Amino acid sequence: MLLSVKDLRTWFELRRYGFVRVGHVRALDGVSFDLKPGEAVAVVGESGCGKSTLAKTILGLEPPTAGEVRFDGRNLGKPTRELLRWYRARVGYVQQDPYGALPPFMSVKRILEEPLIINGVKDRHERQRRIYEALTQLKLTPVEDFLNKYPHMLSGGQQQRVVIARAKILEPKLIVADEPVSMLDASVRVEILQLLRELQREYELAVIYITHDLSTVRYFSERIFVMYGGKIIEQAQMEDLLADPKHPYTEALLRAIPDPHPKNAETMREVPPGEPPSLLNPPLGCRFHPRCSKMIEGLCDQTEPPEVDLGDQHIVGCWLYTDQQS
Amino acid sequence: MRKTSSDSALLRIEGLRLHFKTMRGTVQAVDDVTFSLNRGRTLVVVGESGCGKSSLARGILRLLPRNVETYSGKIYLNGDELMCLTDERFRREVRWVRMSMVPQAAMNSLNPVVRVEDQVAEPLLVHKCVTTREEAYERAREAFRMVGVPLDFMTRYPFELSGGMRQRVALAMALVTDPELVVLDEPTSALDLLTQANIMNVLKQIKKDIGVTFILITHDIATSSELADDAAVMYAGQLVEFCDAGRFYLDPLHPYSRGLMGSVPTLWERKDLMFIPGQPPSLLDPPKGCRFAERCPDRFDKCEEEPPLTEVDVGHWVKCWLHR
């Protein structure tokens, strides 16, 4: 396993007046999964479901409250400086907002050169070669035109490509992409996703693609995690999930997404009532039960559902698929 | 001032231009846009960011920033020409009385220190649509009911509501004066999937119940199909295609519209996605001929000249030399 996450919890303490503790926001509450080298997974969920916290915890930007992240066999629980440096040379991060992620006062060349300098690539020609290689791969050609440009001189799509070039220049084993295309125009989204996909295949990169846009997932990865209320509630192969979603939330989510078609205007869409739970005080039992049409009284609103393995990498956290429900 | 015109067009726009003055020159945000929209229909305006969609909305409602250089053309609402009105008359008699708007990120544009019921009732009182405060609040209640906000939320402040609820309040504000036309600028882009589907349901219901005419400005083509009767595609400040929804979503003609449709990821339908290489031209100094020529897969010599917007079929307008 390249990355192994076990029962990961990241809670944020909430204080009033700066010191009175009033509780915790349980942004991430018990997430476990494994990722093989070269594997691409997508994490989908609505805002506030904890998907960005998952990215940040995996990247070591937020310390986990409990649980374990193992990368290449090493535990990243309480990392030392050396361990962090080792780790960060092996994971790349593609942020959501490319303009915010690039330092405005650095040229593209400097942005790409810095990680190389920090990680001890001393030979200038070697650095030059790798910068050229990265920019060519991301189709920022002719490279000379881009080297001395500053982020504000580039379009959104080009900025995002520089961010991806920066993430991959150290030849990492894992890239975490947090909504990499949500700020871009529809016409360039596909291009960026395809570039990322090509990189993933060519270098056997593992990629965690975090998004709220389910319809882009199929063009990127085979495996998908669905998050709700700080937990992964269903994981499956994308095709299985589309054909046969198990969790009522996944079902609702799939029903809410339209393909462009004029017929859509004629019918109403079925949407579950209510809103995602507050993570400050999540509901007892299954977190989806207040909105769920298949709620089993006395069970779903009392006890958290277990993770049920339905085979073929399809795992669902729902009481409907256990023996206890009858 | 209200009069019924013989033709059924609620809104007719002819040669609308909106240019802005900037340090680096003139930005031609909206350039010679012409279309007409019938009563009770919903027009979806799509295009990439920076193509002038929002400027078109602002142009229609005359909500202009200070650096306007050119604002010309003709806008007819129900047969009345609006461009000849003074700003003051426009404010008094048209904006929010006969047409209103839900601005982009409306949920964040509510006044944080005023209760939402007061904010929704305010346009009625300002425009003297009602005589008493009680009547104003009664109509506000009606608007809340229409958009699906529980009535006990009326006395809350915006921060006490979720994003979806705030978006509905902004919608109630636009509907409360019973306008003929409502312009929605990206009404759901900042919301979650399920909330988005919910708001779309609300809009559909309103359309069915009170027959208001909507202009929906969006870059989200899949979601826009939930509401569309007609579709307009904008590119670099110009209208490049205008037709009904059936033709637009299934078989658009302009190469840009085709590229745009081809780049929409679909969940159920299997297809190879396309993308449009390159980026839109700068509106500071747009190319002389067809503005899309540089990125167009089907370009030929003729594209050096600007194509006219032609009606290729009944109600189907395309601005492309391929379709004449």
| CATH number for A298 | 3.40.50.300
Residue A302 and residue A319 in contact, taking contact as beta carbons nearer than 8 Å:
no
Name the minimum distance, in Å, from the CA of B144 to any CA of chain A. Answer: 17
Cβ of residue A191 closer than 8 Å to a chain B Cβ: yes
Residue B46 and residue B230 in contact, taking contact as beta carbons nearer than 8 Å:
no
Domain presence at residue A117: no
Render pLDDT for A111-131 as a digit per residue (tens, 0 to 9): 999 999 999 888 999 999 999
Cβ of residue B49 closer than 8 Å to a chain A Cβ: yes
CA B39, B57, B286, A96: dihedral to nearest 10 degrees?
-120
Task: Identify which of B194, B221, B246 has the shortest CB distance to residue A256.
Answer: B194
Question: What CA–CA distance (Å, rounded) separates B54 from A305?
Answer: 47
Quick check: A186 and B48 CB within 8 A?
yes
Render pLDDT for B257-280 as a digit per residue (tens, 0 to 9): 999 998 888 888 888 888 888 888
Q: Which regions of chain A are under pLDDT 70? A: 324-326
Task: Identify which of B162, B164, B204 has the shortest CB distance to residue A268.
Answer: B204
Residue A19 lies in domain: 3-90+170-325
Number of domains in chain B: 1
Quick check: A259 and B275 CB within 8 A?
no
Domain presence at residue B252: yes
- Closest by CA to A68, choosing from A13, A3, A1, A2, is A3
DSSP string, B23-78: TTEEEEEEEEEEEEEETT-EEEEE--TTSSHHHHHHHHHT---TTEEEEEEEEEET
For residue A106, the tally of other CB atoms under 10 A from its CB is 14
Q: Which residues contact B300 (CB under 8 A, 6 or more apart)?
A: B321
Q: What pLDDT is attached to residue A324?
A: 55
Domain presence at residue B223: no
Residue B257 lies in domain: 11-89+230-323
- Closest by CA to B107, choosing from B41, B210, B185, is B185
| In the block, residue with structure tokens 């490049």 | B240
Quick check: B193 and A46 CB within 8 A?
yes
Find the angle CA(B239)-CA(B240)-CA(B242) to the nearest 5 degrees. Answer: 80
Q: Which regions of chain B are under pLDDT 50? A: 1-6
Q: What pLDDT is attached to residue A228?
A: 92
Number of domains in chain A: 1
Name the minimum distance, in Å, from the CA of A269 to any CA of chain B. Answer: 7
Q: What pLDDT is attached to residue B44?
A: 95
Quick check: B228 and A212 CB within 8 A?
no
Quick check: A257 and B198 CB within 8 A?
no
Cβ of residue B316 closer than 8 Å to a chain A Cβ: no
Domain presence at residue A120: no
Cβ of residue A231 closer than 8 Å to a chain B Cβ: no
Give which of B24, B261, B266, B316 to mutate to test A binding, by max A Cβ within 10 Å. Answer: B266
Domain presence at residue B135: no
- Closest by CA to A179, choosing from A152, A206, A217, is A217
Six-digit token string for B74: 């003709």
Peptide bond into A277 cis (omega under 30): no
Widest distance between CA atoms in chain A: 69
Question: What CA–CA distance (Å, rounded) separates A208 from B273?
Answer: 21
Domain presence at residue A294: yes
Quick check: A260 and B261 CB within 8 A?
yes
- Closest by CA to A272, choosing from A307, A228, A235, is A228
Domain presence at residue B103: no
Q: What is the pTM of this model?
A: 0.86
First to last CA, chain B: 40
Domain presence at residue B209: no
Quick check: B192 and A276 CB within 8 A?
yes
Cβ of residue A266 closer than 8 Å to a chain B Cβ: no
Q: Which residues of B touch A42 (CB under 8 A)?
A: none
CATH number for the domain including B81? Answer: 3.40.50.300
Q: Which residues of B touch A256 (CB under 8 A)?
A: 193-194, 196-197
Q: Which residues contact B86 (CB under 8 A, 6 or more apart)?
A: none
Question: What CA–CA distance (Å, rounded) separates A45 from A214?
Answer: 8
- Closest by CA to B170, choosing from B116, B243, B225, is B116
Question: What CA–CA distance (Å, rounded) separates A239 from A219?
Answer: 11
Question: What CA–CA distance (Å, rounded) separates A305 from A245?
Answer: 17
For residue B39, the tally of other CB atoms under 10 A from its CB is 14
Render pLDDT for A88-100 as a digit per residue (tens, 0 to 9): 999 999 998 899 9
Residue B92 and residue B100 in contact, taking contact as beta carbons nearer than 8 Å:
no
Q: What pLDDT is attached to residue A165?
A: 95
Domain presence at residue A49: yes
Name the minimum distance, in Å, from the CA of A68 to any CA of chain B. Answer: 30
Cβ of residue B277 closer than 8 Å to a chain A Cβ: yes
Question: What CA–CA distance (Å, rounded) separates A80 from A84?
Answer: 6
Six-digit token string for A23: 């509780």
Question: What CA–CA distance (Å, rounded) separates B205 from A267?
Answer: 10
Question: What CA–CA distance (Å, rounded) separates B309 from B34?
Answer: 9
Domain presence at residue B236: yes
Question: What CA–CA distance (Å, rounded) separates B182 from B37?
Answer: 12
Pairing type for strands B68-77 and B9-22 reads antiparallel
ipTM (interface pTM): 0.80
Size of interface A-B (CB pairs under 8 A): 118
